[in-house]
Structure 1
Amino acid sequence: MKKLLLTAAAGTLFLVSCGPKSNAVTGPKYTSANDFAKGQTIFENSCNKCHALPDPKKHDDKGWIRTLSRMAPKAKLTDDQHQLVYDYLISVNGR
């Protein structure tokens, strides 16, 4: 019985931890040129540490949501930095 309860509790914690964050980027938030410049700087300085910078046109807006959701934690971006990078990318991707 204890094993069953522990397994159920561990499974529940796993599922909850894998769910989307409430602060996840779901669409644009910032629209000023100053914010886009901040996003560009974060993008260039953070992403370029590990790999060549991708072309902003590589993904559409939803594609950038998926890509940044994977990459922002690896780059150790705060939620605000994640949003600024996303908003910069969609401002220049043309899609």
Structure 2
Amino acid sequence: MKKSIAIGLLGIAAFAVSCGPKSMAVTGPKFSSAEHLAQGKTVFENSCNRCHKLPDPAKHDNQGWIKTLSRMAPKAKLTDEQHQMVYDYLISVNKK
């Protein structure tokens, strides 16, 4: 009896995970046009500033921003494209 309940719960959990959002992780720069970088700046300023002070783009190197944005983009409810544009904006102004 316990085994069948455990299997049923495992099946439900697997189904829930498979139906979750399919997010494409940012792995490096994609957009370089001035228009996309300006959009990234706007999204960064408007979305991130809702919850906390805007961080200095020099706070992280490119890999650091990948890690930070991977945590923060879902909290800010950014689309994959917005996530990418914010990343590209930050690394474009980052001097590291």
TM-score normalised by L of structure 2? 0.82
> What residue number does 1:36 align with?
37
Aligned length: 94
> What residue number does 2:67 align with?
66
Structure 2: distance between partners of 1:7 and 1:75: 30
Q: Confirm whether residue 6 of structure 1 aligns to residue 8 of structure 2.
A: yes
Q: Using the TM superposition, give the Cα deviation of residue 93 of structure 1 relative to its aligned residue in structure 2, in angstroms.
A: 0.8
> Counterpart of 1:72 in structure 2: which amino acid?
A
1:19-78 deviations in Å (ceiling 9; x for gaps): xx5511111100111111110010001100110000000000010011001101111111
Distance of aligned partners of 1:92 and 1:45 in 2 relative to their CA distance in 1, 3 Å threshold: same
Structure 1: distance between partners of 2:81 and 2:42: 13
The CA RMSD measured in Å over matched residues stands at 2.3
> What residue number does 1:89 align with?
90
- SS of the aligned residue for 2:88 comes to helix
> Counterpart of 2:4 in structure 1: which amino acid?
K
Give the unaligned 5+ runs of structure 2: none
Q: Using the TM superposition, give the Cα deviation of residue 5 of structure 1 relative to its aligned residue in structure 2, in angstroms.
A: 1.8
> Counterpart of 2:77 in structure 1: which amino acid?
K
Q: Using the TM superposition, give the Cα deviation of residue 6 of structure 1 relative to its aligned residue in structure 2, in angstroms.
A: 3.0
Structure 2: distance between partners of 1:30 and 1:69: 17
Moved >2 Å (runs of 4+): 6-17
Structure with greater Cα Rg? 2
> Counterpart of 2:52 in structure 1: which amino acid?
H
> What residue number does 1:54 align with?
55
> Counterpart of 1:5 in structure 2: which amino acid?
I
Give the unaligned 5+ runs of structure 1: none
